[in-house]
């Protein structure tokens, strides 16, 4: 096998890698991954399917598909599956947990997938299929694709306020997300609690809808005499709107006012000014969730991953000390 020859390992080791069986040393993994990249190798999934009577496909389940798509999480899961030689099908299933669970069970019974990774609850399906294709449920989103549980934590809002306060800011504004989302409510609550606990002042909390427009309108309508020197935005799109709104009225970011976003969307590092933000490392969430499924599919020990996010503040050009 060309990959084995290029990597300097046995073909059995490469096969083990492609099956996602795990247990390989990091240096071996790196050699194989580099060889696959160099050779632009693609596993012959059709031949493997005929030989093993498996589909070589993994189903990734989301609730009803909306305008919001968890791109980073799906990207991490997809990369991990492809490295193991699997294709993925992203399926949006509307309805309740039970309805989704029944639909997934039917798809598995038809042999259309060798495993299921669900980012939304599926009822009792995981316990109802002993011996069948494995299912891993990471309940990150509710029926309407709104973040919930660990994914909706607002804890990083305290870190944002503390950082801005350390720069000298004392009067803040928060442009919130849609209050139907637990993540928006949690970020708002933590923001207000931290402002109060630190003896700071919140000029206002503006109810937004996660959109660029809501940020832009807030910045445009903020009174000149508000005294606000720092804005905590519910997400990066809102932050972008806030910055553009200030720019259009002649305010300079961060010289006149600082703006902090959330989610570390790709555009934040290229926007002018680049946007300080919160990175939740959703790519790792997707990768590690998929690794659990691949291990179960291969009959290997559970990697022991427990879904959790570790927020990290990223400081860029949109934040600085307040004007003197």
**pTM of the full structure:** 0.70
Domain assignment present for 48: no
Q: Residue 4: what pLDDT?
A: 75
Range of the domain at 3: 1-41
Q: Are residues 37 and 158 in the same domain?
A: no
- Cβ 257 vs Cβ 244: under 8 Å: no
Domain assignment present for 111: no
Q: How far apart are CA 96 and CA 107, in angstroms?
A: 17
Q: Residue 144: what pLDDT?
A: 60
Residue-wise pLDDT for 100-128, tens only, equals: 888 888 777 777 788 888 887 787 764 44
SS3 content of the chain, % helix, strand, coil (to 5): 45, 15, 40
Residues 6+ apart with CB under 8 A from 276: 258, 259, 260, 261, 313, 314, 315, 316, 317, 318, 319
Q: How far apart are CA 239 and CA 216, in angstroms?
A: 8
Q: Which residues of the chain have pLDDT under 70?
A: 1, 15-24, 26, 40-55, 64-68, 125-131, 139-151, 304-309
Q: How far apart are CA 17 and CA 250, in angstroms?
A: 56
Q: Residue 103: what pLDDT?
A: 80
Domain assignment present for 238: yes
Q: Residue 147: what pLDDT?
A: 64
Among 248, 272, 244, 260, which Cα is nearest to 314's? 260
Q: Residue 162: what pLDDT?
A: 98
Domain assignment present for 304: no
Q: What CATH number does the domain containing 163 carry?
A: 3.40.50.2300
Q: Residue 51: what pLDDT?
A: 42
Domain assignment present for 291: no
Q: Residue 269: what pLDDT?
A: 95
Number of independent structural domains in the chain: 2
Element (H, E) at 165: helix 156-166
Q: Does the N-terminal peptide bond of residue 147 adopt cis geometry, omega within 30 degrees of 0?
A: no
Domain assignment present for 119: no
Domain assignment present for 187: yes
Q: Residue 202: what pLDDT?
A: 98
Residue-wise pLDDT for 291-320, tens only, equals: 989 988 888 887 766 656 678 999 999 999
Domain assignment present for 305: no
Q: Residue 212: what pLDDT?
A: 97
- The tokens 């919130």 sit on which residue? 176
Q: How far apart are CA 159 and CA 196, in angstroms?
A: 14
Residue 30 vs residues 35, 180, 294: alpha-carbon distances, Å: 9, 44, 18
């Amino acid at each position: 096998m060309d990959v084995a020859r290029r990597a300097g390992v046995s073909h059995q080791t490469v096969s083990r890698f492609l099956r996602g069986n795990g247990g390989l040393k990091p240096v071996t993994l790196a050699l194989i991954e580099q060889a696959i990249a160099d050779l632009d190798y693609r596993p012959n999934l059709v031949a493997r399917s005929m030989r093993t009577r498996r589909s070589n496909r993994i189903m990734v389940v989301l609730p009803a598909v909306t305008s919001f798509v968890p791109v980073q999480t799906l990207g991490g899961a997809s990369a991990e599956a492809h490295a193991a030689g699997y294709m993925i099908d992203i399926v949006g299933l509307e309805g309740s947990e039970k309805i989704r669970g029944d639909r997934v069970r039917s798809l598995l019974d038809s042999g259309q997938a060798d495993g299921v990774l669900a980012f939304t609850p599926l009822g009792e399906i995981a316990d109802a299929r002993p011996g069948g294709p494995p299912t891993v449920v990471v309940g990150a989103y509710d029926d309407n694709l709104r973040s919930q549980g660990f994914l909706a934590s607002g804890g990083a809002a305290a870190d944002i306020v503390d950082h801005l306060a350390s720069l000298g800011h004392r009067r803040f504004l928060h442009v919130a997300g849609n209050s139907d989302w637990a993540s928006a409510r949690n970020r708002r609550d933590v923001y207000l609690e931290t402002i109060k606990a630190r003896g700071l002042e919140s000029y206002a909390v503006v109810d937004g809808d996660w959109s660029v427009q809501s940020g832009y309108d807030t910045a445009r309508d903020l009174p000149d005499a508000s005294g606000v020197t720092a804005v905590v935005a519910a997400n990066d799109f809102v932050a972008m709107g806030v910055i553009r709104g200030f720019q259009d009225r002649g305010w300079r970011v961060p010289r006149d006012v600082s703006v902090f976003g959330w989610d570390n969307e790709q555009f934040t590092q290229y926007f002018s000014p680049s946007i300080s933000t919160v990175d939740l490392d959703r790519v790792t969430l997707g990768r590690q969730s998929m690794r659990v499924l691949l291990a179960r599919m291969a009959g290997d020990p559970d990697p022991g991953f427990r879904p959790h996010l570790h927020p990290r503040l990223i400081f860029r050009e949109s934040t600085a000390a307040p004007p003197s």
